[in-house]
Amino acid sequence: MHIQIIYQKSQKLCFPHIFNCIFVLIQKVMKKLLYTSLFIVALISPKVKAQYQPKNVSKEDLKKAQKWVDTTYKNLSQDEKLGQLFIVALYTNRGEDYISQVRNIVTNDKIGGLILMQDDAAREINLVNEFQQKSKVPLMIGMDAEWGLYQRIATAHKFPWAMTLGAIQDKNLVYQMAAKIAEDCHRMGINWDFAPVVDVNTNPNNPIIGNRSFGSEVNNVISSALSYSKGLQDNNILAAIKHFPGHGDTSTDSHLDLPVVSHTIERLNAVELAPFKALMNKGIGGVMVAHLYVPNLESGKGIPASVSKNIITGLLKDKLGYKGLIITDALNMGAVANKYQPGELDAMAFKAGNDIMLFSQGVSEGKKLIQKAIDKGEIPQSRVEESVKKILLTKYFLGLTQYTPKNPENINKDLNNDSHIQLVQNLYSNALTLLKDEKKLLPLTGKQIYYVPLEEAPYQTFANRLGNNVIIKKAGEINTIPAGSTVIVGFHKDNSTAYKPYKISAESKKVLSDLTKNQNIILNVFGSAYALKDIDISKVSTVLVSYENNDDSMNATADAFNGKTKIWGKLPVLVNDQLKPGMGIERNTSPQTNTK
């Protein structure tokens, strides 16, 4: 205010030009001081929850953390600071030449981290140990482990997909699952699980999200994702909510091309953005930005969110106030990689406001282009300081300054044992959703049951667990089943990956229709609930959704059929006009089970 008054007087004293220069200079100094003070407060204040901090962190811990960050940052060259902004992929199934290339990038470009891909856990541990010892600043080690390390390491145990978890009513079980994933991550030397997905899957035909989403209801997505994130971060593994600003209603796979989300601002706020807004002040350490074109958030035609300054800086950082780490989705994905040169994409992403460029295809080129933009004044050096200090602080809080090499011995057994099986079967058991049971056919009462397995996936585990009272009949043998029998029809869908089609064949639909004419039918879907989208279940007495087709799911389902476990899951998605979110009949264990 005083400055403004002096400025007004100066105009009368005939030296407006000189004073205007002084005024602008003072403004710049004050702005710099304000920015610095706000940045320091944002980093160290216990009240700021959007930057990850361990539980029960003390003021003394915060001071030590800040001291390490300041000292480390000060001792880094500009090239080393820029290196912190990059995470590259490490595969062990691409040969030694590829691994040597990664080794050179770690050594020469001094990158900030690695994302572990397929497929040898012991080899990955040895390489991480080697690379950590070579790095001046500890590496952040990440992995896509939405359904556990199995997502990248086939010898690990598979946890349920998010869609299955969305059916579970006791969200503490989701927390327990994430805590177990965190334990597995620590065993591998992983610090960051790029999960959970918080996209609201409102499009049954979504080719890339689908099973990876907790469902089509915003509140269920929020509660499930919060439990998942806390399960990770309470156990000192960083979470990352993704894919901002919302990938749930897309019909294009962003690994292949650029999806478009054309919803209005009102719809985006109510659905796509809602989980991010609800979760980002809960201390969740990372937000991953998608390769999506959202016209109502980005005026530039065809500009992906991942390189949009309007979306990342304008919306995520400024409007929503997020202060944690912002990371791009993988920069090798077709939605962006096909349109830009290596390095060019990285520079665009950093200029837009990302802190970390994931799966970079051109680290050295990207560093040069970022430095060139800094030299031109297009990117302020303060942006480098902001991002690098956030990265360093997170590394400190994750305990990376005291890195201990991991032991690769027995790693496959440690990632896949009885503790995993017990937890996972409990998760599948709690997800089971009974949509109809008009003739009260469940639980089974010990009488003769017929079982007709349909579709393409294995079914024998389910049949074996059901017991000796079950007679298996193939589709061509249904005429030999006595009229009035209780018949289980199993739709066994291949879930070797999360992206397999869920639709049921015309042949299977006909078998089901024929059986309903003179039998009591229990339809069991070992696959996505969306499989029921165009199935006529009006004459089917009992319908149960198991969500997935694997040994754990089949064993859990058979136990529920036999009355050993309670059924109380709820449908997490809108399937059609008759099958809506929240549907689900509760069925307690059988009296015989309760007396044991």
Residues tagged active-site: 255, 329
Nearest to 262 by CA among 274, 245, 275: 245
End-to-end CA gap in the chain:
80
What residues contact 488, with CB distance under 8 A and at least 6 apart? 449, 450, 451, 452, 466, 470, 522, 524, 561
Q: Which two tokens stand for residue 210?
A: 């689908």
Cα–Cα distance, 511 to 489 (Å, whole number): 9
Could you give phi then psi for residue 184, rounded to 5 degrees? -65, -40
How many other β-carbons are positioned within 10 Å of the β-carbon of residue 108? 12
Cα–Cα distance, 352 to 326 (Å, whole number): 11
Cα–Cα distance, 239 to 58 (Å, whole number): 22
Could you give phi then psi for residue 377, rounded to 5 degrees? 85, 10
Rg (CA), the chain: 27
Which segments of 153-309 does DSSP mark as H helices, in order? 162-166, 172-188, 218-233, 265-267, 274-279, 309
Which segments of 540-590 does DSSP mark as H helices, in order? 551-561
Where does residue 267 rank: exposed (0-12), middle (13-18), buried (19+ CB within 10 A)?
Answer: middle
163 within 8 A of 212, measured Cβ to Cβ: yes
Adjacent-strand bridge partners of 488: 451, 522
Q: Is 471 strand, coil or helix?
A: strand
Q: Which two tokens stand for residue 304?
A: 């992906």
Adjacent-strand bridge partners of 585: 434
